[in-house]
């Protein structure tokens, strides 16, 4: 579930980035890289888990699924916070660091 | 358990390499012909910016995976930081996971980056060729 949520977030971010490309003023590409990087890593983790559990991998316990959903949403929230921090530090619109 | 440590180590190496290349490129000076003293800076190569893609993929993935490990209680904010490091059996399991899952994660991310670089280079070459054809 975490992998699924992260892949969806990565796809949405990529579409937003592509819509504005080549302009990347708001550093959406950073968010894309973060989500795609995590998606690839969790995909590898999922493949290893599938090799171990076989078909049982696709029928998780409801409690585990709920926990994974919360984790996926928390991961998105964390990535957004990191992205906002990067955006404010870089300050592309020069709102926080106006040249005098 | 601690699979993200392998891509994190790769991320550190890539960041160091990228900074070194950036420094080398920015400090590279080209002497003008005919004994002129004036020098000019060489523009950044595309490779450094492409290396940033790999850096961002690795760091981004590692940060989010670190959070996942914190969530599952596999990392703690006190020494030895990894809960598995305290128990010898869990420790060997952790090292096995790092050697299998961790290494595969690093390889998969790097292969994805190589594909991105190859596609981007091919597109750049195609665009340059069509631009040259239009100019003729």
Q: Note whether A17 contacts B: Cβ–Cβ < 8 A.
A: no
Eight-state DSSP code of residue A23? -
Mutate to test the interface with B, among A29, A44, A76 (most CBs of B within 10 A): A44
Phi and psi, residue A8, nearest 5°: -60, -45
Total of domains in chain A: 1
What integer pLDDT is reported at residue A30 of this predicted model?
A: 92
Q: Note whether A44 contacts B: Cβ–Cβ < 8 A.
A: yes
Q: Note whether A76 contacts B: Cβ–Cβ < 8 A.
A: no
Taking the domains of chain B in order of start, what are their residue ranges? 5-135
Q: Is residue A47 assigned to a domain?
A: yes
Q: Is residue A14 assigned to a domain?
A: yes
Q: Number of Cβ pairs closer than 8 Å across A and B?
A: 76
Q: Is residue A26 assigned to a domain?
A: yes
pLDDT band at B32 (very low <50, low <70, confident <90, very high): low
Assess contact for A3 and A46: CB atoms under 8 A: yes
**A34 CB-near residues (< 8 Å, 6+ apart):** A79, A82, A83, B56, B59, B60, B61, B63, B64
Q: Is residue A99 assigned to a domain?
A: no
Please write the tens of the pLDDT for every residue from B60-83.
999 999 999 999 988 888 888 888
Domain encompassing residue A60: 2-90
Number of H helices, E strands in chain A: 3, 0
Whole-angstrom Cα distance, residue A20 to residue A12? 13
- A40/B58 CB distance under 8 A: no
Q: Note whether A34 contacts B: Cβ–Cβ < 8 A.
A: yes
What integer pLDDT is reported at residue A94 of this predicted model?
A: 84
Q: What is the mean pLDDT of residues B28-56?
A: 66
Q: Is residue A82 assigned to a domain?
A: yes
Q: What residues are paired with B40 via a beta bridge?
A: B30
Q: Is residue A98 assigned to a domain?
A: no
Assess contact for B112 and B57: CB atoms under 8 A: yes
What integer pLDDT is reported at residue B136 of this predicted model?
A: 78
What integer pLDDT is reported at residue B3 of this predicted model?
A: 87
ipTM > 0.85 (yes/no):
yes
Contact list, B67 vs chain A (CB under 8 Å) = 74-75, 78
Walk along chain A (100 residues) and give the pLDDT tens digit of each residue: 899 999 999 999 999 999 988 888 889 999 999 999 999 999 999 999 999 998 888 898 999 999 999 999 999 999 999 999 999 998 888 888 766 5
Q: Note whether A2 contacts B: Cβ–Cβ < 8 A.
A: yes
Q: Is residue A20 assigned to a domain?
A: yes
Q: What is the mean pLDDT of residues B102-113?
A: 95
Whole-angstrom Cα distance, residue B1 to residue B101? 10
**A78 CB-near residues (< 8 Å, 6+ apart):** B63, B64, B67
On the question of pLDDT at B44 being above 90, the answer is no
On the question of pLDDT at B28 being above 80, the answer is no
On the question of pLDDT at B7 being above 80, the answer is yes
Minimal Cα distance from A34: which residue of B? B60
Assess contact for B83 and B75: CB atoms under 8 A: yes
What integer pLDDT is reported at residue B15 of this predicted model?
A: 94
């Amino acid at each position: 579930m975490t992998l699924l949520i992260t892949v969806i977030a990565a796809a949405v971010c990529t579409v937003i980035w592509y819509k504005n490309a080549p302009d990347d003023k708001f550093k959406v590409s950073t968010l894309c890289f973060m989500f795609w990087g995590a998606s690839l890593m969790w995909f590898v983790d999922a493949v290893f888990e599938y090799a171990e559990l076989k078909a049982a991998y696709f029928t998780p316990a409801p409690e585990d699924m709920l926990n994974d959903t919360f984790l996926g949403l928390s991961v998105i929230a964390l990535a957004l916070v990191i992205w906002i921090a990067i955006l404010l530090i870089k300050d592309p619109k020069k709102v926080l660091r106006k040249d005098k | 358990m601690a699979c993200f440590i392998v891509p994190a180590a790769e991320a550190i190496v890539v960041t160091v390499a990228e900074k070194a290349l950036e420094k080398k490129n920015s400090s590279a000076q080209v002497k003008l012909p005919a004994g002129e003293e004036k020098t000019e800076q060489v523009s950044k190569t595309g490779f450094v910016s492409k290396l940033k893609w790999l850096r961002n993929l690795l760091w981004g993935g590692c940060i989010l995976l670190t959070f996942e490990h914190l969530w599952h209680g596999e990392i703690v904010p006190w020494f030895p930081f990894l809960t598995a490091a305290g128990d010898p059996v869990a420790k060997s399991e952790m090292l096995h996971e790092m050697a299998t899952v961790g290494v595969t994660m690093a390889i998969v991310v790097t292969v994805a980056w190589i594909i991105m670089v190859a596609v981007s280079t091919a597109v750049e070459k195609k665009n340059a060729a069509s631009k040259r054809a239009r100019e003729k």
